Every structure is written in C-alpha cells, then in structure tokens.
C-alpha cells in the first residue's frame, strides 16, 4: 500500500493500492501498515529509503483515535 | 506502592510500568493469533512471533489512570528476519485483550529498529519512542505487541522491550 501524507505535519491523508497523484505539500511512501483514517489520526514518524526495492518506506507511525490528539 | 519520584500532589512524576530488573505493575500475556513465544527475563519483556501469522501481547493486568500523565515512553528494539510484514507496537487502550489494531493511542514500528551497540540511554542499543497521552483521561491498559503478519516460513519478528514508563 501507499500512504499519502502531509509533508509538514506527517498526517496521513489516505492509503492507496497504487501510487496516487502527489500535490505540492504532500509526500508518498510505501507502508505495510494501514489504518482507517476516518477513525484514527495517523502520523508518519520515520521514513527510510529501501535500497533493495528502491522506494521510501514508512517504518514508524504514531496514531490516535480521532478527537484525542 | 508505585516506585518513582513523587510530586506534592502525590503523583509519581516518572512512573515505571516495568524496567530492567523489576516489574512495577503486574503484566500478563494475551495471544490474539498463532503461537508466539514469550520471554520474560531480568532485563526485558520479549516476544518472538514466527512461522505463520502470529501475534503476542504483554498487557498490564489492570487498567491504569493516565489522567496525571502526559507521555508514555518505551525503550525497545525490534529484530526482523525476512520481510515479514512485521509490527512492533505499544498500544494505549480501554480494551485489555485486543490485537495491534485496537487502540486509542499507539506508537508502531514495522521494520528492524535498534541503535545497537548503544544509543547512550543505558539500554544496550534500544530506541526510545514516546506517545503523547496528555489528552487521555481515565483508565487505560498498556499493551506491548509483536506480530508476524504473513505466513512465509523463516520470517520472524522479535520485539524486545527494556522499559516502559509514564511521565507527568
């Protein structure tokens, strides 16, 4: 899956099966972990470059049930 | 009696839930999936999840009042073999027995993480992660999860936590 997130805040805006269009201010990275963005505010904590597969990969997240963070 | 530094309001400003050599509150195990291995030693709580989908959990036996606290910290490492769709997470939740997807607040890692040989924080190479829990009021369980998420033989996730604590 691909996660599209706000570059400045790290807030994930959506998960996609294929690479989505990326607008200014947004970033995209692969992830093996997804959540329901309607239920949770998910923030990207750390992204690494996968030298084997050659893509950015989200390795750490912090998430909160909506209304808590 | 909790061990920690107490302020004038009677709340420990730093309350350990477990640490090297001690478990300051009771913890129990819970297995959502498969047959993980639990290893509680003098220095850590560890869970190895391997060979088919499996997930192991250490959870506080009782819910803890998080109202006075603003942060939860964990000193931990994760060793991943293969590409196992692995997860190591610390979940704060009103639910005691849930898998890694059930939480109110969570810090999660999905690839090998370590500062080995030593990050200088005194836990032999552990990474430090924190969760902002300042908006959480009332009683919550704290859970440590280790999950191997696919069924490829030889893949494994080994989550190794040295300490978890709360700070005012």
Per domain, the residue ranges of chain B are: 12-167
A20-24 long-range CB contacts below 8 Å, 24 or more apart?
none
Residue range A13-60, pLDDT digits in tens: 999 999 999 999 999 999 989 999 999 999 999 999 988 888 999 999
- This model of the complex carries an ipTM of 0.90
Residues of chain A neighbouring B107 (CB-CB closer than 8 A): 45, 60-62
- pLDDT band at B7, cuts 50/70/90? low
> Can you give the pLDDT at residue B2?
46
Residues of chain A with C-beta less than 8 angstroms from the C-beta of B67: none
Helix (H, G, I), strand (E, B) or coil at A65: strand
Superfamily of domain B12-167: Galactose-binding domain-like (2.60.120.260)
**Predicted confidence (pLDDT) per residue in B107-150, tens digit:** 999 988 887 655 555 566 789 999 999 999 999 999 999 998 87
Q: Distance from B108 to chain A by nearest Cα, in Å?
A: 5
């Amino acid at each position: 899956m691909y996660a599209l997130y706000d570059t400045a805040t790290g807030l994930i805006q959506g998960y996609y099966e294929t690479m989505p269009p990326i607008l200014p201010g947004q970033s995209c990275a692969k992830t093996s972990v997804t959540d329901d963005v309607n239920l949770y505010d998910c923030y990207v904590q750390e992204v690494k470059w996968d030298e084997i597969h050659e893509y950015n990969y989200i390795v750490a997240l912090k998430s909160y049930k909506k209304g808590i963070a | 009696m909790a061990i920690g530094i107490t302020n004038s309001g009677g709340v420990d400003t730093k309350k350990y839930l477990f640490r090297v050599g001690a478990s300051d509150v009771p913890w129990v195990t819970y297995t959502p999936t498969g047959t993980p291995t639990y290893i509680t030693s003098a220095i850590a709580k560890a869970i190895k999840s391997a060979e088919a989908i499996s997930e192991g959990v250490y959870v506080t036996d009782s819910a803890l009042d998080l109202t006075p606290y603003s942060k939860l910290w964990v000193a931990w490492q994760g060793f991943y073999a293969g590409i196992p769709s692995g997860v190591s997470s610390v979940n704060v939740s009103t639910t005691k027995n849930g898998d890694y997807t059930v939480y109110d607040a969570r810090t999660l890692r999905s690839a090998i993480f370590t500062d080995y040989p030593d990050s200088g924080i005194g836990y032999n190479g552990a990474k430090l992660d924190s969760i902002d829990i300042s908006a959480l009021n009332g009683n919550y369980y704290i859970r440590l999860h280790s999950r191997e998420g696919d069924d490829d033989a030889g893949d494994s996730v080994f989550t190794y936590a040295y300490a978890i604590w709360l700070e005012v």
